[in-house]
Amino acid sequence: MPPALPEARLLEMVFPDHTNHLGTLFGGQVLAWMDKAAFIVASRHARRVVVTARSEEVNFRVPVRTGQLVELVARLTGVGRSSMQVEVEVTAEDPLTGDRRICTTGRFVMIALDANGVPTAVPPLEASATV
């Protein structure tokens, strides 16, 4: 069996200050949480400072409501010389019923930097698959 892809998991609670006038999660808030999850998995792989180079193909599937839990799972899916591709899946959960739905998905490209802020090499994907 191939080693599991490196991943990071975060849980967030949706409070009223995270939502718009309709009581649904602001898109910008979920993007910030997704970027944080991507940052964590990329940082753990590279063991370097990382920055976001790009977010792409973010899909908002279903609204997330005040009072729901949000679970973010970020998986490192590819590595270049200094870049890392991260897929993030966001699942909303009703804490009272346990109903879970994938609400948002997206891809991020993270870049590792050296002490001078210059892109620097990262290990191949297999190197951290057992971490």
Q: Calculate Rg over the CA atoms of the chain.
A: 16
- Nearest partner of 81 among 125, 41, 44, judged by Cα: 125
Which residue, among 32, 14, 31, has the nearest Cα to 23 in the 3D structure?
14
Q: In this predicted structure, what is the pLDDT of residue 3? A: 52
Cα 21 to chain center, whole Å?
Answer: 26
Q: Please report, rounded to a whole number, the percentage of residues in the chain having pLDDT higher than 90.
A: 91
At residue 51, what is the residue type?
V
Query: What is the rounded distance in angstroms from the CA atom of residue 118 to the CA atom of residue 111?
Result: 9
User: Domain 7-123 in CATH: superfamily?
Assistant: Hotdog Thioesterase (3.10.129.10)
pLDDT band with cut points at 50, 70 and 90 for residue 126: confident
Question: For the chain, what are the domain ranges?
Answer: 7-123
Q: Would the pLDDT of 23 be above 70?
A: yes
Could you give the CA distance from residue 3 to residue 7 in angstroms, rounded to a whole number?
A: 12
The whole-number pLDDT of residue 5 equals 75
pTM for the model:
0.91
State the burial class of residue 131 (Cβ atoms within 10 Å of its Cβ: 0-12, 13-18, 19+).
Answer: exposed
What is the pLDDT averaged over residues 30-45?
97
- Residues of the chain with pLDDT > 70: what percent? 93
In this prediction, residues 67-93 reach a mean pLDDT of 98
Q: Return the structure tokens found at 57.
A: 């193909």
What's the pLDDT score for residue 1?
43
76 residue type, one letter = L
Q: Is the pLDDT of residue 54 over 70?
A: yes
